[in-house]
Amino acid sequence: MNRQGERLILAFDFGTRRIGVSVGNELLRSARELPPFPARDGIPDWDAITALVDEWQPDLFIVGLPLNMDDSESEMSTRARKFGKRLYGRYGKPCEMFDERGTTREAKNIARDQGHGGNYRKESVDGIAAVLILEGWFAQQEGLSARL
């Protein structure tokens, strides 16, 4: 494991058809999109995720937690938590959940602004959402360290 602040992080935007992924470096506070994984009713190709974990050797996983606007949890929240627990169980790396409210909408706006059109079934915004999740987590960590 790298020293605190130098961790490599994989972030996931959990979905039932696709799971967006981004990778980032905590020291640089930067994230970049990786290709999304297809999922069948929320079940990913674990061999593909294992290959990703083997390639990047992350120190930490972040999984977006889709809360309702009133802070309550939904069925998707439960499924995202289960996915996070499976990541931890399979790879033994810590996994944190991060409130992802608004990331999909923002990702669609970013994709539209980049000229990707509006057909999100063909052009996945899941990777962009995963980048936003990780960037949001970085910002939250920065805020926590500023308060210390």
| CA–CA distances in Å: residue 64 to residues 3, 47, 96, 140 | 24, 21, 9, 14
Exposure on the CB side of residue 107, measured as CA atoms within 13 A: 26
Helix residue ranges, H only, 23-102: 46-56, 75-91
Compute the distance between CA of residue 15 and CA of residue 141 in angstroms, rounded to an integer: 25
Which residue in this structure is represented by tokens 């033994």?
92
Mutual angle of helices 126-147 and 103-113, in 10-degree steps: 120
The DSSP output letter for 121 is: T
Give CATH for domain 8-147: 3.30.420.140
| Region of residue 101 (phi > 0: left; psi between -120 and 50: alpha; otherwise: beta) | beta
Handedness of CA 107, 113, 117, 123 (dihedral sign): negative
The pLDDT tens digits of the residues spanning 77-126 come to 999 999 999 999 999 999 999 998 766 666 666 666 666 555 544 457 88
- Domain limits of the chain? 8-147
The pLDDT tens digits of the residues spanning 113-141 come to 666 555 544 457 888 889 999 999 998 88
Encoded tokens for 93: 């790396």
**pLDDT above 70: residue 25:** yes
**pLDDT above 90: residue 49:** yes
Taking every pair of Cα atoms in the chain, the longest distance, rounded to a whole number of angstroms, is 45
Rg (CA), the chain: 15
Amino acid at 34: L
Of 3-12, 44-53, 79-88, 107-116, least confident by mean pLDDT is: 107-116
Compute the distance between CA of residue 12 and CA of residue 31 in angstroms, rounded to an integer: 12
